[in-house]
Structure 1
């Protein structure tokens, strides 16, 4: 038995010794075959596709980049340049697709060898970003930071974003100390880092010396993305008398306004483009901005720009030719300043917030001049505010009575042949007597022409009572049709009072309507009477100008405008062909007859040329050619913003609307002096007289 077991052991041992080498040999063979296949595949790829792969390594992407062009100019009606561009040399930087912060750090460091820049308002964060961008600096700081700055409570590594934020925090905590040269580098680094991919930013465009340009130009090969270019800024050769109308342009840092970023990006703008932000610059942005230039840029595998080719040099922005004569505009502003200074000297501007005037061509709607003064009642400081003509509202007083009379004529409560009314004061319970400025009993009755001549409040209130079918008994509650407010305002709206005029300047506001019912829900009949003679609702001055122009031109409510035409710019910067000319735009035709219109025109003529102590606009009587006008005086109040709960002092707002020459009007104007402490001085009348004198002299009318 033992012998049998020994034989079996010998056989098993010999089999194990022979089996193990075989398996190793098989494994070695398999590895050899796989290695041979890999070598064969590599050889195949090298021989067959080697050229293709090398081309892929050397491949460049082609990207089309856009560039800004000079903004269009703005000229006055005589071709004088109002707004132009001042061009200056500039050092620019175009950011590559995936450039690293360390690369920008290196470029900024090199650039400060050849140019000096003003240090921007650098924050501690900006300085820390610059320090951490230095080669290997971020890694060094990360090692020095406490462990809690690198891992969370569970010991897991923080995100790279969080770690970097902690690096910034650590650097700031350790203290940031930069010398003057480092501050310059940090300023450049900030500007360059803030640039969007493949966008161009200006690193220096002011006080750039020829030496700096030459030195940077000589070293462009070691400054990837740096170029020599030019930049522009808006300048105003004729001064800024209407700067508020023209509006502003954003800076490169401001770029596209946040509220328009989506629409403007969709239209092809870049985030840092300089665009019109207000008024004419904004309204005509698509014209003034021109068409961007286009460059085809080749970007290598290292994300650096290798080649740039101009595809389209761009089209300079179009020019705007305004309806405003800058010489006449200056005269109107100077005349307004003179009259307001006189009011100040008289001591009646304690609560005044300014004065405004606007002049239109009633035949076309063209704005001939817009002038304004804003006054700070607390300091007495004044500033130019022509824009107040379209965005400030005032209760204008009797100047609106022309619309009241024409509304009553169209309503049929009076006729051109039958329009006399008794002139008795109106007594309502719980309310002061409602009367005209002259003493009760001065006139027993008045017709429409006389009512305009003497500015009768009583006459206008009687018209409203007739239109509202009023049931009136002195000292008793009066009832009127509940639609009286909408009826009166409906007629006013036809002339432009209480509705936007449509002027081609952004930011126009509309008049303010007073409430129609009291807290008990009762119709405010007394306020309806106040509305009839202009002592309730508030209007902008441009609405007043549109209203008087509608009367002057025979009933056509025309859209006011300040841009007469748009003109191309030639390559040499001079004006090219006209692309559009503004034509008069009729918003609506007021439905009065010529006989009805003549009643109001004669009444406004009588207000200037009539006799009698209470004739309101006789200071314009000596003008030749003759003019027509309607003055206004309204009770107003000054609300102190620093003490809104105090009883507001009562003030006086004086106004005037006028047109001339009377027989064939080609100029119409509206003027307002709000919140004076006295109506003495007739400042709107005196200002109107001077404006007419200047206009007639300018146009050669006799």
Structure 2
């Protein structure tokens, strides 16, 4: 029997391996394709997302710049104080902040704001209480919404509806501790991601500071650090001009929020809100320290690095002489007080005395002062700001501008005479000088302060060269604007350009009639500030060059040594605004008239200045300022003014004084006494300084 050979069974392994390899190949192909899509098509988008989540920056505030007077006396400093801040990481929720607030409340106390009933509220609102209740009773609050409401509302509407359904009874009766927690959380809620927010920086005690510092490990985002308050070593002296900054709770000014945010400010940054603090905010603010934070995927900060070193704000050296400023304030207060006490019934409307002292050649303001008598409290207060903001009729002090207007317009010539006797225009009351002065020329008109001479200038500028008593005037109303144009060249009726927020340019009378033009010519129609009068007399003293008055002398770089000034960053050079369009001989003529006012017999200020070691020149002024009640005149009054400069041949100081609403007759020559003492003090301080050198 023949045996058959068995056939060998072929192995299936190679075929299965091929299938497996093919599947693996497909998987790798898909993976490579997907990686290509991610890398090529979406790579930039994903990388940007990675960068955004991993690298964050914050800006840390630095101390503001300081201020010094012209002699480098410190007049504004930074006083360090304890501060508790909160910097939230990414992804922090309201419940997380509440937990931190509850822990922080065990270490600090919040200041108890009170309502009109005297009950402590800690600044907590009804909404704050409802938000607190919601976080403590979230499930209960959500149960008050129906499924349909949840389906139809977005998240914001859901939240607001849940808060609305929390009753007043449910949020009443919170304890002091709970209110403090709410107050703390209220401040913490203002914080933006990785941006420090002050929780408390007023009245933080050393004990509170130490407690918080010791427990930072259980207070995520909280820090115990240092903030600064502004300190004014000279107290109220010049304080209104230095100005103030906002509080931490106020932060940037709401009306300028966009302006600040686009310039790198945070909402809780303190900024200048008035005075020189506001004017030079960009200089004083400094450069914030820039810190880069590295966070993980959960938003937790795992590393930080200072990428830009912070720098304290630059320092301001002002033109003000604080010793002179103090003395001018004392002089104003003393003479104002004396005048009121000497004739309280007559001076019952007298409340202010204002003065500006400046270098007429450079525009540097040496002292700007004001005193106000608060009749209600029977107290005298600093009111220097009124020298820039309060306009008053200046009276005869402006006659230098009137005479120059007459010269330049061609209606009078140097040396021209008029007979000083009362002027009577048909249908109007008689106008005159304080007495009949007889025949006067232009220099006499300034020395003796003739009103009638100025009336002739005004009438002629109006087109009437043939005045006859009791006749009507030929009058062109355009003369009003012509004379105002001349006055504006001296700074009268226009802004002086001072580096200070929102100065006034006075008040311009609305009725350009002939009689009002005559009043305008003697300073009894439009109003001017003390600073405008100082610029006006400085322009005459400075041979017709009007310079911009300024407070800032230099900007200095900050240095590590707190008691020293750094190198000069920028100097404020003399800024000539205009040269008056008048013949130089005319200006010299008025200068001579001003000299006679102060130095020659009959000059209205000669008895106060003629015997001084220095030679001064200037002009006195008196303007009627009657008092009215419901249109009825109840009392007579006057504004007393004085402008001047010295030395006459090389002016280095000019001044203006306004004492509004003094009584009639003038039993106390307040403005003249103030002006005399200002120049005495200036040259006395100058002599003392030279002796020390």
Give me the TM-score of the superposition, normalised by structure 1: 0.85
**Aligned partner of residue 674 in structure 2, secondary structure:** helix
2:368 corresponds to which residue? 370
Shift of 1:380: 5.0
CA contact (8 A) 1:425 1:435 kept: yes
Across the two proteins, how many residue pairs are aligned to each other?
Answer: 641
Instruction: Say whether the 8 Å CA contact 1:93–1:227 is kept in structure 2.
Output: yes
- State the partner residue of 2:70: 77
Is residue 2:85 matched to residue 1:92?
yes
2:443 paired with 1:449 = yes
Counterparts of 1:196-235 in structure 2, within 5 Å, are 196-235=192-231
Q: Distance in 2 between matches of 1:59 and 1:404?
A: 69
Please show how residues 181-196 of structure 1 align to structure 2 within 5 Å. 181-196=177-192
Report the Cα distance in structure 2 between the residues aligned to 1:680 and 1:503, rounded to whole angstroms.
Answer: 35
**Match status 1:394 vs 2:392:** yes
Q: Give 2:431's match in structure 1, choosing from 425, 431, 434.
A: 434
SS of residue in 2 equivalent to 1:301: coil
- The residue number in structure 2 matching 1:172 is 168
- Counterpart pick for 1:596 among 557, 562, 586: 586
How far off its partner does 1:207 sit? Answer: 4.2
Tell me by how many angstroms 1:303 deviates.
2.7
Match 1:659 to one of 639, 642, 645 = 645
**Pair 1:579–1:637, CA change in 2 (3 A):** same
- The Cα shift of 1:454 comes to 1.1
2:480 to 464, 480, 485: 485
Residue 41 to residue 102, structure 1, CA distance change in 2 (3 Å) = farther
CA distance in 1, matches of 2:107, 2:652: 62
Structure 2 distance, partners of 1:213, 1:625, is: 59
Alignment map for 1:318-333 (pairs within 5 Å): 318-333=314-329
Whether the 8 Å contact between 2:340 and 2:350 is mirrored in structure 1 is no
Counterpart CA distance in 1 for 2:187 and 2:607 is 64
CA contact (8 A) 2:57 2:194 kept: no
SS in 2 for 1:485: helix
1:532 and 2:528 correspond: no
Indicate how the Cα distance of structure 1 residues 253 and 648 shifts in structure 2: closer, same or farther if over 3 A, else same: farther
**CA gap 1:637/1:300 in 2 versus in 1, 3 angstroms:** farther
Q: Answer yes or no: is the 8 Å Cα contact 1:62–1:298 preserved in 2.
A: yes
| Counterpart contact for 1:485–1:516, Cα < 8 Å | no
User: Distance in 1 between the 2:224 and 2:60 partners?
Assistant: 14
In 2, distance between residues paired with 1:297 and 1:72?
28
The answer (yes or no) to whether the contact 1:58–1:300 under 8 Å persists in 2 is: no
Change over 3 Å in CA distance of 1:456–1:380 after alignment to 2: farther
Alpha-carbon distance between aligned partners in 1 of 2:232 and 2:52, rounded to the nearest angstrom: 49
Counterpart of 1:15?
Answer: none
Whether the 8 Å contact between 2:437 and 2:450 is mirrored in structure 1 is no
Q: Distance in 2 between matches of 1:622 and 1:59?
A: 78
Aligned match of 2:510: 515
Q: Which residue of 1 aligns with 2:657?
A: 671
Q: Deviations over 1:360-403 (max 9, x none)?
A: 11121110100012345666554211111111101110000011
Please state how far the C-alpha of 1:261 moved relative to its aligned partner.
Answer: 1.7
Q: Whole-Å Cα distance in 1 between the matches of residues 632 and 98 of structure 2?
A: 60
Alignment partner for residue 461 of structure 2, among 467, 483, 495? 467
The alpha-carbon deviation at position 174 of structure 1 amounts to 2.6
| C-alpha displacement of 1:97 | 3.3
Instruction: Provide closer, same or farther for how the CA distance between residues 434 and 151 of structure 1 changes in structure 2, counting only shifts above 3 A.
Output: farther
Q: Give the CA deviation at 1:341.
A: 0.6
> Are the aligned partners of 2:333 and 2:380 in contact in 1 as well (CA < 8 Å)?
no
Secondary structure of the corresponding residue to residue 238 of structure 1: coil
- What secondary structure does 1:194 align onto? coil
* 2:255 is the alignment partner of 1:259: yes
Deviations 1:537-590 (A, max 9, x none): 111111100010111121110100111100010134342110111111111112
The worse-fitting range, judged by mean Cα deviation, of 102-111 and 596-605 is: 596-605
Please, which of 348, 359, 362 is the counterpart of residue 361 of structure 1? 359
* 1:422 aligned residue (419, 424, 448): 419
Equivalent positions of 1:2-81 (< 5 A) are: 60-81=53-74
Distance in 1, matches of 2:52 and 2:404, equals 79
For structure 1, the residue ranges without an aligned partner over 5 or more in a row are 1-36, 518-523
Counterpart-to-counterpart distance in 2, 1:599 and 1:607: 13
Partner of 1:680: 667
Shift of the alpha carbon at 1:289? Answer: 0.4
Per-residue displacement from partner, 1:143-190 (whole Å, max 9, x unpaired)?
3x4x69x977xx975554344334434243434222222222111111
Question: Secondary structure of the residue that 2:574 maps to in structure 1?
Answer: coil
The aligned counterpart of 1:140 is 140
Note the aligned Cα RMSD (angstroms).
2.9
**Retained in 2: the 8 A contact 1:455–1:616?**
no
Higher Cα Rg, which structure: 1
Equivalent position SS for 2:557:
strand
CA distance in 2, matches of 1:609, 1:59: 77
Using the alignment, how far apart are the partners of 1:220 and 1:631 within structure 2?
69
CA contact (8 A) 1:393 1:538 kept: yes
CA distance in 1, matches of 2:642, 2:139: 75
The whole-number CA distance in structure 2 between the counterparts of 1:303 and 1:176 is 37
Which of 537, 541, 546 matches 1:552? Answer: 541
Contact 1:86 1:234 (8 Å CA) reproduced: yes
Residue 650 of structure 1: CA displacement?
4.0
